[in-house]
Every structure is written in structure tokens, then in C-alpha cells.
Structure 1
Amino acid sequence: MSERRPGFLVNFFVRAVIGMAMIFFVNEFLSMKEIQVSVGLNAVSFVVSGALGIPGVGLLYGIMFYNIM
């Protein structure tokens, strides 16, 4: 069990960092296109992108688009 834990933590942090970078660049792209939707770079988005990966980032944007409807 302890042998698997470091691999899981590394995987989580890699997904979280890549997810946060994706959120940053998608926010910039949407801002450039003058679309008023942005996901905050905070602890919740870090945990969601770390736990769910790219689908989690899509989920965050889906929630934000749903809120403006």
C-alpha cells in the first residue's frame, strides 16, 4: 500500500498542475474572444483538476457556462 501512495500523489499533482495551466490558457483565450466566462484559479479548481484531470476542467467550464444561461 505504501509503495502505491507516492505514485498516486505524483500523478495527482501532475494532473493538477496541467489542469491549472489549461484553465489559465482557456481563460486567456475566452477573454481574447470577449466571452465573459472564466474559471477561478483556486484550491477547488486545483483539487478538481487533480482528481478528475481534463474532464474535471471541462466540468468546471460546463458549470460556469450553465451559470450564465
Structure 2
Amino acid sequence: MGEKGIRIAVNFIVRMVIGTAMIFFVNEFLSIQEIAVCVGISPVTVLTSGTLGIPGVILLYGIKFYSLL
């Protein structure tokens, strides 16, 4: 694995950690506001946030809001 591969792997892991933390904190914020929308932290959501980054987290919440309509 070359330097480029290591850079891609580290970037993916950092986005996974940041995305998972964002999901956690947004869930906490929404529960404090008494809004009944919660995106669970599962392998699928972690991989989505790792692959797509912040837009992936926004996409997950958009899907959740849409499913409530």
C-alpha cells in the first residue's frame, strides 16, 4: 500500500469518526429540542458518513425526515 493508499484510508477513517460524532451530537440536540427524529449509529450509517462525509450525514437526516412525512 503506497502513500496515496494510506492517505485515502486515513481520510476515510477521519470522516467516519467525525460523521459518527456528528450523528451522536445532532441526535442529542434533537432530543433536547423534543424532536422525534433519530438516526441510529450502525455500520451502514458509519460507512455512509465515512464515504460521503458531512453531506452523507445530512443525507441520512434528510431520509429520516422524509420517512416521517
5+ residue gaps in structure 1?
none
Displacement over 4 Å in runs of 4+: none
TM-score when normalising by structure 1: 0.96
Alpha-carbon distance between aligned partners in 2 of 1:17 and 1:42, rounded to the nearest angstrom: 13
| Paired residue total | 69
Look up the equivalent residue of 1:16 and give its one-letter code.
M
Identity of matched residues, %: 61
Structure 2 unaligned segments of length 5 or more: list them. none
Q: Deviations over 1:9-62 (max 9, x none)?
A: 000000010000000000000000110001011100110000000000000000
CA RMSD in angstroms comes to: 1.0
Give the Cα–Cα distance (whole angstroms) in 2 for the partners of residues 24 and 47 of structure 1.
15
What's 2:4 paired with?
A: 4
Report the Cα offset of residue 6 of structure 1. 0.6
2:27 & 2:21 partners in 1: Cα distance? Answer: 10
